[in-house]
């Protein structure tokens, strides 16, 4: 590890790459917090394809940056009452064990397999954001103010009901939560992917919570961000244990990510962001292609 660090420091233009790392963190923090996906989809490919870091180092660095991103964004979302904290904590009982399993598995999986798997997940993410426009729109059907989360029958799903004020719609959005067992299963899978690939797992959680469990998109993004802050902490600790975390890589990433997270949360609260999601989805298709070419040793 010491030899790797010395080679890395000598082989890179540190001044240039500090700016590159900070800029990567800024964009990843903005998009990650705005979409509730963490930002690892940007950080890992850039660190591996542009800065030529080993994939395990890229994943570990990404996880630490996502912790900073999610903690910053989650605090803002929770203050705005967008986060369903009860649901997030419930789903984390499945997500954290998945993150631990994924982190342990990543230490023994070949980098080429990780790159190929990452490309497949990117394609799924891009398809979700581009080809399914109803996923991006606000869930206007859930804005029925006659639903009172405090007066619903006493069961698990209804006890998770919540509401928030939507600045874009100019009204209070009230919703119930359904299909909790499906959410728990998806949470476990998202946790495995989070530590295995250095992503927040939000690309699994967000579609499931929005399309299956009935959360409006803004509550989904806020709750996913809250969960990611917990999930990625578990994964980051495992990568630190194996020696894949380097402060001189992580520090500029974290600075950029925190700034981007603040900007991204404001974007989510005020705008629908349909065009932003489609542009991001198209970018994911491109990055997925580059990851597959890297796996095939073409680039």
**pLDDT value at position 132?**
60
pLDDT band at 158 (very low <50, low <70, confident <90, very high): confident
CA nearest 141: which of 113, 120, 169? 169
Kindly report, residue by residue over 249-288, the tens digit of the pLDDT.
999 999 999 999 999 888 877 766 566 567 677 777 877 8
Mean pLDDT computed over every residue of the chain: 80
pLDDT band at 299 (very low <50, low <70, confident <90, very high): low
**pLDDT value at position 156?**
75
Tell me how far apart the alpha carbons of residues 169 and 196 are, in angstroms, rounded to a whole number: 38
Mean pLDDT, to the nearest integer, of 59-78? 92
Mean pLDDT, to the nearest integer, of 78-90? 93
Locus of tokens 């998806």 = 186
Exposure of 153 by Cβ count < 10 A (0-12 exposed, 13-18 middle, 19+ buried)? exposed
- In contact, 118 and 197? CB cutoff 8 Å: yes
Residues in Cβ contact with 290 at an 8 Å cutoff, skipping those fewer than 6 apart: 45, 49, 299
- In contact, 200 and 254? CB cutoff 8 Å: no
Tell me how far apart the alpha carbons of residues 229 and 232 are, in angstroms, rounded to a whole number: 6
Q: What is the pTM of this model?
A: 0.77
**pLDDT value at position 153?**
52
Kindly report, residue by residue over 175-218, the tens digit of the pLDDT.
999 999 999 999 998 888 888 877 777 878 888 898 889 898 88
């Amino acid at each position: 590890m010491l030899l790797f660090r010395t080679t890395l420091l000598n082989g890179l233009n540190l001044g240039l790459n500090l700016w590159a790392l900070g800029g990567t963190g800024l964009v990843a923090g903005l998009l990650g917090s705005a979409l509730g996906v963490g930002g690892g989809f940007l950080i890992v490919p850039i660190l591996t394809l542009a800065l030529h870091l080993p994939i395990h180092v890229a994943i570990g660095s990404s996880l630490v940056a996502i912790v900073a991103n999610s903690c910053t964004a989650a605090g803002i979302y929770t203050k705005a009452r967008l986060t369903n904290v009860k649901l997030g904590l419930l789903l984390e009982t499945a997500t954290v064990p998945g993150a631990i399993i994924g982190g342990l598995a990543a230490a023994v999986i070949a980098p080429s397999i990780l790159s190929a798997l990452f490309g497949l997940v990117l394609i799924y993410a891009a398809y979700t954001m581009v080809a399914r426009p109803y996923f991006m729109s606000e869930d206007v059907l859930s804005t029925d103010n006659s639903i009172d989360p405090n007066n619903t029958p006493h069961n698990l799903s209804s006890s998770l009901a919540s509401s928030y004020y939507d600045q874009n719609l100019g009204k209070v959005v009230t919703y119930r939560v359904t299909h909790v067992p499906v959410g728990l299963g998806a949470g476990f899978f998202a946790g495995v992917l989070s530590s295995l690939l250095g992503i927040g797992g939000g690309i699994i959680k967000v579609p499931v919570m929005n399309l299956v469990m009935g959360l409006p998109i803004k509550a989904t993004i806020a709750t996913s961000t809250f969960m990611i802050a917990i999930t990625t902490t578990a994964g980051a600790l495992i990568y630190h244990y194996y020696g894949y975390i380097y402060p001189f890589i992580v520090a500029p990433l974290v600075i950029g990510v925190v700034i981007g997270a603040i900007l991204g949360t404001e974007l989510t609260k005020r705008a629908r962001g349909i065009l932003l999601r489609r542009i991001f989805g198209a970018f994911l298709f491109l990055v997925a292609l580059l990851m597959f070419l890297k796996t095939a040793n073409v680039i």
